[in-house]
Structure 1
Amino acid sequence: MNNAQLNELKERYVAKGAASPATAFADRAENSLIWDADGKRFIDFAGGIGVLNIGHRHPKVVQAVKDQLDKVMHTCQTVMPYEGYVKVAEKLAQVVPVRGDAKVMLVNSGAEALENAVKIARAATGRNNVICFDGGYHGRTFMTMAMNGKVAPYASDFGTMPGCVFRAGYPVPEHGISEEESIRRLKMVLKTDANPRDTAAIVLEPVLGEGGFYAAPASFLRKIREICDEHGIMMIVDEVQSGFGRTGKLFAIEHSGVEPDLMTMAKSMAAGMPISAIVGTDKHMDASGANSLGGTYAGSPVSCAATLAVLEVFEEENILARSQALGDKLAARFAKWEQRFDAVVYPRNLGSMAAFELNNEQGEPAPELAGELCKRAREQGLILLSCGMFGNTIRFLMPVTIEDEILEEGMAIIENSLEAMVGSKASATA
C-alpha cells in the first residue's frame, strides 16, 4: 500500500489521540535511513525518540531476534522462566551504577519501569510521597502523568491525577532556575508539602528528555543524594531517554559519580524491541512480597535476546566513544549556527544528547520557529523533533552509528532551512 492509502486507513481506524500527524509511512529502514511506502528516503534524526542509538536493524540484533524466534517466543517468566531474562538481569546488575549489590526487574516500557520503581520505593520505605521536577517526563500511565513536569499534551484530557506527588524546579539557568534556587525549592517542598518522614523517593532525569535536553550539574546530583541520605529518601534516576550511550557514558548519571538507589531504563536498551528495566540495591528490590511485581509480557524472550546483543555491540563497536565524537561534531556545528543565526540560542550537549533553542526577535521562546524548522526538514527528507517546556527546543537523537556523509546531509538541510527562515546575521545587516 502507498502513503495515500495508508492515510485513509489511519483516518478511518486509528484513534485521534494516538494517530501520527505524519503522512509518510515507514516501509523499510537501515541504520540512519528510512524509506516510506512511496519509496522516498528520509534521514532519521529522531531515532524513534531515542530508541535507536545503534541504528535501525543492527545486523547483530536482527540475528539475535531471529535466533530466539526459532526457540521460544513467550512463556511468561513468572510461569516458566528462561535464560534470557536472568542473563539480562546479570549483565545489568554488573554495569548499572546503583548502590551496593544490584537486582533487576524487567518490564515493557519506560512508563511501566517508573510505575514499578515507585511501587518498590513505597514498599522499601513504607512511605507514600514522591517528589519530581519541573520539565521531567516519566510516561503516560496515570502515576507517571502525575509525575510529569508538563501538563499538555500528556494529562490535559484525563481528569484527576494520583496524589502524593510533589514537584520542585529543575536547574535550568537559561530559564531562571539556578542550581541553588532548585535546591531551595526542593527543601521548601520538604517543609511545606512533603514531610520527609512520609516521602518515599525523589525521582529525576539526569538530563531532561522531553523537558529540553538540559543536563543537571554533577554538584546538583550530589546534593540530591545528600538530601536523600539525610532523610532516608530513595533516589530514583530515570535514564529512559539518556541511557544506553546517548551521553557518551552507558548512563548519564555516570558523569557525576553519584550512585542512586534505583534506576529505570528502556528505549535504546534493545534497539527497537520493547523492554525496560528497574535496577536497584538488592534490599530495596526485594522489599515487596512474592509475586508482587511482574507482568504477562515482562522481559519477553525476544526482547531479552535483543538486549544482550545490544550490550555486545556496545563493547565490539566502541559505541560510547562514537557517541562522544558525534556530540563533539554537533557542538561544533551548533556553535557556528549560534554565531550565524540570531534565532539559535542555548546550544548544549552531553555526548550526543544535543539540542539548541529557537527564539524570536524579542528574545522569547519561539515554538512556531521550531515547528516550521521541523516541517521544512521533513519536506526535504529529514526527520527532526522539537521538545522543551516552551516547545522551542530542537533535539538530536540520530543513531550514534550514523555515517559521516548522512550526518552532513542532514545538518545541511537544517542549516539551509534556518537561512531561509530567519536569515544569517551577515545577510540581515547587509
Structure 2
Amino acid sequence: MTTSKTGYRAGHAPLPAGVFVAPYPDPLAADQDAEVAKALWGFDHLLKSMTAPEETAAVILEPVLGEGGYIPAPAAFIHGLVERCRQHGILFIADEVQSGFGRTGRMFAVEHYGIEPDIICMAKGIASGFPFAALGTRRELDDKWPKGSHGGTYGGNPMGCAAALATIELMTDPAFLANVNARGEQLQAGIRELQRDYPTITQVRGLGLMVGTEFDDAARVAAVIKHCLEEGHLILMNAGTYGKVLRWMPPLVVSEREIALALAAFGAALKATN
C-alpha cells in the first residue's frame, strides 16, 4: 500500500493482488485545473482498464500526502474522487494517520474539504505519540459486523486509551487548534521569506503544522538535513518520490518563539549549504 517510492516496495514481492495505484495531481504543474482533470481521467481509466467499479471495494487516500511529499489534495480532485465513489458504490477511506488529530489545524484534514469519508484510519497523533490506533466507520457499515467479531490481542490497551482521551480533551479546546493555525501561518510565511533569498526552494505548501518545503534537487535537501543534525537540531528525513521535500511537523503546542528559532536555524542551514 505504501507507494511513495520504490524503496518501500523493494524486497517485499509479491505484493498483494487487487491493489491499484491511481495518479495524483502534481503540485508543481503550472495549470492546476488541467492537472486535476488529468488525474481524475487517470482514475476513470483505471476503473475501465484494471478494476471494474463493481469489483472495487474502496478508494484509500491521504487528504494530505505524507511520504508522498506533504501535498494537500486539491479540493476539486478530492471532491471528484468522492463523487465517483458515491456514483459507483465504492467506499471512500481517509487515511488520517499523519494528518489527523489537529495536525492540519482541524481535527481531521477532511474537514478542510467538507467531506465525510465512509471509513477513517487514525493513529500517531491520536495519543500524542503513544502507540495507539483506531478505525472509524459510518454506523451502517459498523452494524454489518456481528457483535464481538472485531478484536485483537493488543486492542483497547488501557494506557493507550488514557493517552488518547487526554489528547482529545486537549484538542477540543478552541485555543489549541487556533495555535496550530497561527503557528502554521507563521512557519509558511517565514519559509517563503527565506525562499526569496534561496530560489532553490521551489514550493512551500501545507495545512496547519504539516508543511512541506520542496527543493530543486534532493542533494540540497540532504545537505540541509545533515547540517541541521550536526548543529543539534531535530529534523525529519526527506519525503517525496524524488526525495526533494523537507518536512516540517513540529509539536502542535509549539510556541511563536520556537517557530522563530526553527526558522533561524533553517536559514543558517540554507546559508551554509548554498
| Bin of the TM-score, shorter chain as denominator length | over 0.9
Structure 2 gap ranges (5+): none
1:239 aligns with 2:135: no
- Secondary structure of 1:153's match? helix
Code of the residue aligned with 2:75 in structure 1: it is A
| Alignment partners' CA distance in 2, 1:209 and 1:317 | 25
Residue by residue, what CA displacement relative to the aligned partner does 1:176-213 show, whole Å, maximum 9, x if unpaired?
Answer: 88111110000000000010010100110110001011
Higher relative contact order (CA 8 A, sep 6+): 1
Residues 183 and 259 in structure 2, CA contact (< 8 A), matched pair in contact too: no
Deviating 4+ runs (over 6 angstroms): none
* Structure-2 residue corresponding to 1:391: 243
Code of the residue aligned with 1:373 in structure 2: it is V
Higher Cα Rg, which structure: 1
Give the drift of 1:313: 1.1
Q: 1:375 aligns with which of 226, 236, 247?
A: 226
* Structure-2 residue corresponding to 1:249: 106
| Alignment partners' CA distance in 1, 2:250 and 2:4 | 24
Residues 5 and 241 in structure 2, CA contact (< 8 A), matched pair in contact too: no
Q: 2:83 aligns with which of 221, 226, 229?
A: 226
- Secondary structure of 1:245's match? coil
* Structure-2 residue corresponding to 1:409: 261
Residues 270 and 307 in structure 1, CA contact (< 8 A), matched pair in contact too: yes
Residues 207 and 215 in structure 1, CA contact (< 8 A), matched pair in contact too: yes
Residues 221 and 244 in structure 2, CA contact (< 8 A), matched pair in contact too: yes
Residues 118 and 138 in structure 2, CA contact (< 8 A), matched pair in contact too: yes
Give the drift of 1:405: 2.7
* Structure-1 residue corresponding to 2:71: 214
- Secondary structure of 2:65's match? coil
Residue by residue, what CA displacement relative to the aligned partner does 1:312-356 show, whole Å, maximum 9, x if unpaired?
Answer: 111347221111001110111121122110211111121121111
Q: How many residues align?
A: 270
Give the drift of 1:371: 1.1
Give the drift of 1:172: 2.1
Give the drift of 1:158: 1.8
* Structure-2 residue corresponding to 1:171: 25
| Alignment partners' CA distance in 2, 1:165 and 1:287 | 24
| Alignment partners' CA distance in 1, 2:13 and 2:147 | 33
* Residues 284-363 of structure 1 mapped to structure 2, 5 A cutoff: 284-316=141-173, 318-359=175-216
| Alignment partners' CA distance in 1, 2:205 and 2:196 | 14
- Secondary structure of 1:173's match? coil
Does 181-190 or 223-232 show the bigger shift? Answer: 223-232
- Secondary structure of 1:165's match? coil
| Alignment partners' CA distance in 2, 1:292 and 1:369 | 51
Residues 27 and 71 in structure 2, CA contact (< 8 A), matched pair in contact too: no
Identity of aligned residues (%): 36
TM-score (norm 2): 0.94
Residue by residue, what CA displacement relative to the aligned partner does 1:23-70 show, whole Å, maximum 9, x if unpaired?
Answer: xxxxxxxxxxxxxxxxxxxxxxxxxxxxxxxxxxxxxxxxxxxxxxxx
Give the drift of 1:173: 3.5
TM-score (norm 1): 0.61
Code of the residue aligned with 2:272 in structure 1: it is A
Q: 2:15 aligns with which of 161, 169, 180?
A: 161
Structure 1 gap ranges (5+): 1-146, 360-365, 423-430
